[in-house]
Amino acid sequence: MIARGSAGIVVAPAVPMVAILVGVLVFESMALALLTIPFALAFLAFLVFFRDPPRRIGAGIVSPADGRVLVADPASGRVAIFMGVTNAHVNRAPMAGVVATKRYRPGRFAVASSPASEGNERLEWTFHTDLGTLRLAQVAGIFARRIVPYLDVGDKVKKGQRIGLVRFGSRVDLVLPPGSRLTAAAGDRVRAGESTIAEVPDGVGP
């Protein structure tokens, strides 16, 4: 499955590839066929990058992103996850709740894993959950020049539901709600919707 909001990018290299193949048939020139190689490679790369695989939703508070945990601070409840170019870039809701706010903040495009990325362009969300407010930010990286949200303020969201896409290398920051217990650690590899990053008290919703 291809991520919503990425069809135009995925199809772009296929258009010249098809045009060249038509030229091969018309002019009967196999030399032209060699020109399709870079477009075919780009098409395959985009198919892999913009994949949106199904996930079995995990227990507790789940990771909003695929990637590597950069920060896991039990004192503040802050978690930062870096998404490399080989990760799926569709982000998912860590808990069930309601979208309370959504705010775009312009900024730089520094490497998302570096300290300089604190000033990067981002989309900041707050969700009302059974435990209180959960804060999440989709942070653009050096190549991620577009954040594509799938939800609006007031929308109800299920745990593990897709909330948006960040194109190319980027980061997701999360501040856990009170009452949760952080279980992820810096260096952990996590998968959006599947990996548990924090435990919640018994009786808190799915």
What residues are labeled active site?
Answer: 170
CB 187 within 8 A of CB 48: no
Would you state the structure tokens that stand for residue 145, as one six-digit string?
Answer: 């020049």
CB 149 within 8 A of CB 136: no
Q: What distances in angstroms separate CA 87 from CA 73, 90, 129, one per listed residue?
A: 23, 9, 27
CA dist 73 and 59 (Å) reads 20
> Is 57 exposed, middle or buried, given 0-12, 13-18 or 19+ CB atoms closer than 10 A?
middle
- Picking from 191, 196, 100, the residue whose alpha carbon sits closest to that of residue 151 is 100
